[in-house]
A and B are shown apart, each in its own frame.
Chain A
């Protein structure tokens, strides 16, 4: 069990491979490189969002508003694109990222300065952000024909055989890996989550660290907002509706502890990939979408049971040592 826990990322990887192999016995094309690249492309946005969410959860918080943030940022850039087609796409990308960060910062400020529980804050902003989309767009859609070709093309642009959207995900994964393992801020995220009191006594500003976690999550949500709307070439009120739960599910399956302090970049990425593979594989072998939901749900429960067991193990080690001391 201990070894299992140490290599939990490998086990998750194995589970993903098993699903791929099982499905490819029924559908020979599923395991082809092109098909797998499509699955990755499909999961790219979830991977990025899961990493943003992971940082927040690590600090003993949660961001329920990520999907609404994404939808609002996506709608804003879609509206700008429809009204001012001459604005270059990179500017829109930066606009979405900046707006997302600002919305994340709003969550962070409420958690930090007003000391409101994160789940309450983001439950509120989840609704507010959705409402804002309706207000901004007057309830109407921004459709493909209103968007410029450049706007829609960016995520689909092919580079070295895979789409730019996939490259975004790859770069984000690398940056997060560096952030979490190689920077003082990454260390502060872990210290804050594992033991906020001791972190405070060690000079870590716990409130500010949480605030920054929400900013990071917001940045990712904003960026994903543009990518989502451009990829699907449509913006409306319910974009990514309910997706916040998939994001949290990816984190949990990836071994991120809801109690904070535990979680890795490879874990969250694999958690997202697992959901992506399951969601892409089941239609291939004609399993109904309702079974997909049941399977995702089972995966979440298994992951939680697994986590609970590996954490209980840790407690026992401490006791044994205390006895020997």
Chain B
């Protein structure tokens, strides 16, 4: 019943050239959030029995699209057509009833329930009394799993005892059991090992055989070329290209992904790059990253590029004392540094502006000035007592330099916009007079105006002799701001580039692991 040989996968292209009517079509879908245009009149078609790959950088609008398809977001405009009929998906339940199901990177199922319950949650077979018919449910769950070639999964096992790959299988079984016609796989391989990925592909083939329309989201080109029949490329919330995988080279797709109009001028920063300040060599972690070596010089902006999950933030957290590396050395200004806590790193002069601003950056509920003074309390207090006047003075100085827009420094930081919150986080660190400031996705999810302010301020920082490490998944930001760029992939450093004549294509190739180009 399985047709999974290599030969079976390829003739898909032949089928694709004379496609049946699309199962699902999106016409001119738009979606905006305050200050951000997530999707602008994008179109997408999914065909029965075919896998369509959705490709795009971070922030291109893929996640927003998935949320629209699963009924979590409502589009501002445009049309959703399923099997030729225009429809709406007002809720997750409506999407489910329409036969749309999604398998996420980290499966959203119920750890404490059994496999059978997870498969049949919401549509469990009922007995005559209206109670759940456990016997039938287990029997059918077992049959479904067997049909998928996953008979090794016990329907009675609790989900939490399963590995991530098997959880994906359960999610697929759930899709089969509700007879979903449209299956969205949102980076399903991100947390899987090589062998597990192979097993997953067998399943995708099975879904194709079954006539399901599959939307496959992945950053990995080898996977896309292996499994997909068609592709659609998003860039900055717009659809910029689509076609048949068989007719298109990887280079052409990369060009579509990155070729953009210049919508944001980056400030030129004139900093004298000095002596090496931070020297990291052979830094390793048992599970997150391996053999990371780089040098950050005084007055330099060092960009860290890579796909989400490449281990960049994890390296930064080790530098900041949040995680403990298993090997390697960190030297700051010639002295060995082994931070055991963020307090150690801050004392040494390394500070970190984390990616998750709301969760890690600001203490929502505390006023602005208390957020700014939090790491500097030792300096602003005297003989063990806080001096509010001093805290206000420090906050005023640094938020002023960042052009923070707030009615009062006593207002709750939660009442500020994302961009202004980010300024509070940066002000907080400047108040500690750091030597190295690490910015992790510093402009993620903030408006254009604040973005420009943050970029301008980075230039100002390095001109004052600070050194900056900027982790970013946004190519224009990396290319526009960095003096040099480190590229990471799957926990390893794959390249260090001088940012002179560096092309976006080179970085994307390095990050995605396309070919082995000669530098």
Contact = CB atoms under 8 A, between A and B. Distances in A.
Contacts of A318: 364, 414-415
* Secondary structure dominating the interface of B: mixed
Contacts of B345: 203
A190 B366 contact: yes
Contact of B385 (A182, A190, A191, A261): A182
Contacts of B416: 321
Given A198-B359, A202-B342, A203-B375, A183 B385 contact: yes
A194 B360 contact: no
A194 B364 CA distance: 7
Interface string A307-325: 0000000100110011111
Interface stretch (B286-294, B376-384, B463-471): B376-384
A187 interface: yes
A202 B374 contact: yes
Contacts of A181: 386
Given A203-B342, A318-B414, A198 B386 contact: no
B343 interface: yes
A296 to B, nearest CB: 29
Nearest to B361: A198
B363 interface: yes
Given A184-B377, A203-B343, A198 B417 contact: no
Given A199-B363, A201-B354, A325-B418, A183 B346 contact: no
Interface string B349-389: 00010101001111111100010001101100100111000
A13 interface: no
B348 to A, nearest CB: 11
Interface in A225-243: none
A204 interface: yes
A191 B363 contact: yes
- Chain A interface size band reads 20 to 34
Given A187-B377, A201-B352, A202-B375, A195 B363 contact: yes
A307 to B, nearest CB: 14
Contact of A201 (B360, B384, B414): B360
Given A201-B354, A323-B34, A325-B35, A184 B365 contact: no
A304 B486 CA distance: 52
Contacts of A201: 320, 322, 342, 352, 354, 360-361
Interface in B132-190: none
Contacts of A194: 363-366
A184 B363 contact: no
Contacts of B364: 194-195, 318
Q: Which of A197, A201, A322 has the most CB of B within 10 A?
A: A201
B295 interface: no
A204 to B, nearest CB: 7
Given A184-B386, A194-B366, A323-B34, 13 more contacts: A183-B384, A184-B384, A191-B366, A191-B374, A194-B364, A195-B362, A198-B360, A205-B341, A261-B365, A262-B365, A314-B412, A321-B417, A322-B34
Interface of B: 34-35, 320, 322, 341-343, 345-346, 352, 354, 356, 359-366, 370, 374-375, 377-378, 381, 384-386, 412, 414-419, 428, 447
6 contacts: A181-B386, A182-B385, A183-B386, A184-B378, A187-B386, A202-B374
